[in-house]
Amino acid sequence: MSSHLTDSSVFETHLECLEQALGFTNHIIKNTPYAFCLFDDHLQINFWSCTLADLSGIQNDRAKGSQVDIFLPFLKNEITKLRACLDGKQSSTINIPYEFENSKIRSFYDIHYIPIILSSQDSAKGLILIKDLSTDVLIQNKLLESEDRFKNLADAAPVFLWLAQEDGSCTYFNQSWLDFTGKTLDQEKGFGWAEGIHPDDLPRCLRSIANDFENRKYFETEYRLKNRYGEYRWMMARGIPRYNGDGKFSGFTGSCIDITDHKILVTELQAAKVAADTASVIKTQFLANVSHEIRTPLGIIIGFADILRNEQISADERNGLLDRILKSGNQLLHIIDDVLDVSKVEANKFEIELIDFSIKDLINEIKELFEFRAQEKGLIFKTIISENMPDYVKSDPTRMKQILINIIGNSIKFTSEGFVELKIESYQIGPKFCLGFTVTDTGLGIRDDYQNRIFKPFSQVDSSTTRKYGGTGLGLHLSRKLAQMLNGNLELVTSKLYQGSTFFFHLPVLVVDSKETAVHFPSQAELQKKFNNLKGIRILVADDAEENRILIEKYLMPYGLVLKFAQNGLEAVEMASRNDFDLILMDIQMPELDGYGALTQIREFNSDIPIIALTAHALKTEKDKCLAIGFCEHVTKPVNKQKLVSTISALTKKWPN
């Protein structure tokens, strides 16, 4: 009895353990992510798991006893592996695509073939483990899609992008980088990219990057990188540390931007600032110098004019003071003209007037102008003209004379003993006929380190020279600009300190044959002879400024001209309608009616009378405007007596042939 109870208890205990084991096994089978089935050596299904039933929609009792490839038709190509499994060989197949009837969704499966030998008496069996990889494949596809999207974005980015590992070696460069360097990704991977860095920048660049990688912090550095054409461009490289999902440092993500144009711009701006600061200093010095140059002759004019009010000074002293006033006035006018001309040149408003003229007459006028000035300083002024010099040429004689006056005037100013020589040559350069003017002096000369400054605006050789000799520093700059506008040039040939200088000015001209069309530069004797034939000419002078009326009267009365005066345009129109004048001098800016309006009204009843415009506006545009609306000539203020009388004589045809 006791033994029987004991055996029963043991049996119940074993049964309970077996039930627990079966329950545990069933729990594992139901919850395993794998679906599975058992097959025998006839490839018939012995067991069909519930997971596989859910997956396929086929229950165990229906599947049991059937061939495995009936309900799992994708195994038809796996028969060899199934039989190998029965022979004790384990194998697997990954990513078998298949669509079960109940799901209607093509899925991917990971299949393992596992041999099972339960005992020596049992026949061999095989286990098929099936895992649905659809979610994994979906995630993988999303990941690939994301990576592809990132790659497309990275390749399309206008900046260079890269990825580096923990040790600093690079694993990725976007297409913009590869297009720039002209290399492949394999060539640039690792540390291959460093081969393109400029040798002078490489040590510093690598040290900086290595230090920042070690400290795992954001970095920014600049270096030059060689492009596919072998040129180096400046790069701004930035990098930030990258961490994986576990928070572990996994390298750097970085970018590079081409900053070459920015650096050039910064350099240019810095240079421009330095140049602007320098120009500001130079212009400040120039303004101070011009102020001095203007105030000096102006002080002489005002001071000597005040002295002339003293009736007790002698006639000789009075004449001497008047000469100095006249000289200072001309000096002041020359300074103002230079400043205005430079402004017009810099603003591209300067115009060249090409006319026919006698080159020999021009040289005689220059010679007449400077011989006396040279004699005053005890110098010899020479002029040498080549034998093959043409009689008449076409160019701008006014600007040619202005250039020569500036150069020769400088030579005389800076020469205390010896000579100043002007040599004029003509020569052919290809199809062009050219004139060359060489001015040589035995004067002060120019230091070697100052010679590159003499043609710059607002610049003198040095302050001590400026204080001693005066000048605005505009003459040579303006002269070179004028020469270049005439398609020529002005240059310093040679200069030695205390031995003298040589300047050369050349320009192309057109040789002309017609003497009749050429402008003539009469001598003083010729002018005086012609001016003696002006007696009796009746002139109306219209000007609102009393000083101008007095000045014109003093200029013209000695020639026997008969003068009448109007103080505004209305008076001028009224007087012109009642009197028979030979010529009218018309100021432009007047009250009541300006010169333009007065001209228009006078032309309504007298279209033939010569009318000359008098104006302080010296621009060519003003002259063109005056001539276009009906004035016969244009004379600028301050009025030059010689030009005024010459113009009157030409328009009234009183000069003898």
What's the pTM value of the predicted model, to 2 decimals? 0.48
pLDDT at 657: 36
Per-residue pLDDT averaged across 393-414, rounded?
90
The confidence score (pLDDT) of residue 259 equals 92
In the CATH scheme, what is the homologous superfamily, with its name and number, of domain 351-512?
Answer: Histidine kinase-like ATPase, C-terminal domain (3.30.565.10)
Give the 3-state secondary structure percentages of the chain, helix then strand then coil, rounded to 5.
Answer: 50, 25, 30
pLDDT band at residue 585 under the 50/70/90 scheme: very high
Residue 119: the pLDDT is 62
- The string of pLDDT tens digits covering residues 202-220 is 998 888 888 888 888 888 8
What percentage of the chain has pLDDT greater than the value 90? 24
Does 6 score more than 70 pLDDT? Answer: no
Tokens coding 235:
């790069």
Quote the pLDDT of residue 605.
92
pLDDT for 460-512, tens place per residue?
A: 555 444 445 555 567 788 889 889 989 999 999 999 999 999 999 999 999 88
Segment among 117-126, 352-361, 521-530, 619-628 with least mean pLDDT = 521-530
Which positions ≥6 away from 318 have C-beta within 8 Å? 308
Which tens digits make up the pLDDT trace of 411-464? 998 999 999 999 999 988 877 889 999 999 999 898 888 888 888 765 555 544
pLDDT tens digits along 26-50: 666 666 778 888 898 888 998 888 8
CA quadruple 471, 475, 478, 483: dihedral, nearest 10: 180
pLDDT tier, 182 (very low <50, low <70, confident <90, very high otherwise): very high
> What's the rounded Cα separation, in Å, for the pair 47 and 33?
17
State residue 466's pLDDT score: 45
Query: Could you please report the per-residue DSSP string of 611-635?
Result: EEEEES---HHHHHHHHHHT-SEEE
Region 587-604: mean pLDDT is 91
Q: Is the dihedral of CA 475, 478, 480, 485 positive or negative?
A: negative
pLDDT at 441: 95
Q: Which DSSP category does 519 fall into?
A: B
Dihedral over alpha carbons 212, 218, 222, 223 (to 10 degrees): 50
Domain 20-134: assigned CATH number? 3.30.450.20
First and final C-alpha spacing in the chain: 176
Furthest CA-CA distance within the chain: 179
Determine the pLDDT at residue 382.
92
Question: For residue 613, what are the contacts with CB-CB under 8 A and spacing of at least 6?
Answer: 586, 588, 595, 626, 631, 633, 634, 635
Question: How open is the CA angle 405-408-414, to the nearest 5 degrees?
Answer: 130
Residue 299 has pLDDT above 60, yes or no: yes
Fold of domain 524-652 = Rossmann fold (3.40.50)
- Could you read off the pLDDT of 610-639 as tens digits, one per residue? 999 988 776 677 788 889 999 999 888 878
CATH class, range 157-258? alpha beta
Residue 654 has pLDDT above 60, yes or no: no
> Mean pLDDT, the chain, as a whole number?
82
Among residues 387, 446, 385, 435, which one has the least CA distance to residue 411? Answer: 446
DSSP one-letter code for 44: B
Q: 268-344 in CATH: which number?
A: 1.10.287.130
Q: How far lies 509's CA from each of 153, 199, 238, 400, 591, in Å?
A: 65, 56, 63, 11, 46
CA 425 to chain centre: 42
Label residue 656 by pLDDT band (50, 70, 90): very low
Tokens at 590, concatenated = 């007047």
Domains 157-258 and 524-652 fall in the same CATH topology: no
Average pLDDT over residues 321-340: 75
Domain boundaries, the chain: 20-134, 157-258, 268-344, 351-512, 524-652
